[in-house]
Amino acid sequence: MKYVDEYRDEDIVTNLVNEIRAISTKPVKLMEVCGGHTMAIQKYGIPNLLPETIELISGPGCPVCVTSRSFIDKTIAYSHQDDVIIATYGDLIRVPGSTSTLEKERANGANIQIVYSIMDALMIAKKNRRKKIVFPGIGFETTAPATAAGILQAKVAGLYNFLVYSAHKVMPPAMEAIIDEGVKINGYIGPGHVSTITGKGIFEKIPEKYGLGVVISGFEPVDLLESILMLVSQIENNKPSVEIQYTRVVKPEGNVKAQQMMEEVFEPGDDWWRGLGVLKNSGLKIKDEYNFHNAELILEDVKVEPLIEPEGCICGEVLKGIKKPKDCNLFGNICNPLNPVGSCMVSSEGACQAYYLYNR
């Protein structure tokens, strides 16, 4: 099967592993900043194939994980309004807020509907014009264009009951913050889905300012091993750069149309990241001309419960790359996918869930 079997071919994997072993002489730490990579690395046992010189660590690549519990708390507060319907992707439904989840609120009678696309949310808005439809926008550059497209279509259609609560973020500030805070890494396995939208240019500052390479990777075993080989080669030759391994999907310029939609609807703003705190211009805020679709402005008089963080959860340190899931005393005991204490366990892209499923 094209684009599947050939990227899981045992002989190609063996050859790549041998090449890595042949050239790797320096101890290195490589960080992936994509939740899909985190899951794939553990699922395929990539760390077990590598020489002892190479360590893989997870970074802030899971959008659900880096988002504050206060985002869930406020979404829940919106759901308590009689004239509000929450239209959310399913990956948010079980994410813990301070004392509840959207799943629990839905069971208690809140009008919370799971959608599979922004178009579904617009359809709900069209059918329920006397209600305010709140779409919790979450994710990096991968999902932000779809949210932007939804806002643009809502404006054209006059669906001013369609509101977005944006927690969209952009990846480069977090990658820079990791280095600035002294986390010891030697290169990045670059996010494949993000780069499909952005292209390679947004990462150029990493080798220029910090002397660290970025290789944008696909998600299959051959992709990941080839990306690691490319990074190790950069390190061994002291030639850091931004390279694209995932060339069958990612183009240097990215998706220009998607970029234009993002720029039309959003502007940079400071935002909070779990493990890293507030990072300058790391968030995407809705521009003033689209304020009629900004849930935070239209629904400003909601009472949100005080933020409560779970005791003992080290999700922030895991996302920062200074600890691994198995360093947490809660991991696999109190905290598991059926009873997640922190967002790193509840998310299907979270490092804790990846380790629980494939590396206990």
Q: Which of 280, 286, 294, 291 is nearest to 264 (CA)?
A: 286
Domain carrying residue 79: 64-170+255-298
Q: Is 42 contained in some domain?
A: no
Dihedral sign for Cα atoms in the order 307, 310, 312, 316: negative
Alpha-carbon distance 232 to 268, whole Å?
Answer: 34
Q: Is 165 contained in some domain?
A: yes
Residue 211 · residue 310 · CB < 8 Å: no
Determine the pLDDT at residue 5.
79
Q: Is 262 contained in some domain?
A: yes
Determine the pLDDT at residue 1.
47
Q: Is 87 contained in some domain?
A: yes
Q: Is 130 contained in some domain?
A: yes
Residue 7 · residue 216 · CB < 8 Å: no
Q: What is the crossing angle of helices 118-127 and 144-157, to 10°?
A: 30
Residue 249 · residue 223 · CB < 8 Å: no
Q: Is 32 contained in some domain?
A: no
Q: Is 289 contained in some domain?
A: yes
Q: Which of 48, 47, 104 is nearest to 73 (CA)?
A: 104
Which positions ≥6 away from 266 have C-beta within 8 Å?
144, 148, 166, 168, 284, 285, 286, 287
Render each residue's pLDDT in the chain as its tens digit; 360 residues. Answer: 466 778 999 999 999 999 999 999 999 999 999 999 999 999 999 999 999 999 999 999 999 999 999 999 999 999 999 999 999 999 899 999 999 999 999 999 999 999 999 999 999 999 999 999 999 999 999 999 999 999 999 999 999 999 999 999 999 999 999 999 999 999 999 999 999 999 999 999 999 999 999 999 999 999 999 999 999 999 999 999 999 999 999 999 999 999 999 999 999 999 999 999 999 999 999 999 999 999 999 998 899 999 999 999 999 999 999 999 999 999 999 999 999 999 999 999 999 999 999 998
Residue 189 · residue 55 · CB < 8 Å: no
Residue 118: exposure state from Cβ atoms within 10 A (0-12, 13-18, ≥19): buried
Give me the number of domains the chain comprises.
Answer: 1
Q: What is the pTM of this model?
A: 0.94
Other C-beta atoms closer than 10 Å to the C-beta of 243 total 21
Determine the pLDDT at residue 77.
97
Alpha-carbon distance 273 to 320, whole Å?
Answer: 10
Q: What CATH number did the domain enclosing 158 receive?
A: 3.40.50.11740
Residue 270 · residue 278 · CB < 8 Å: yes
Q: Is 125 contained in some domain?
A: yes
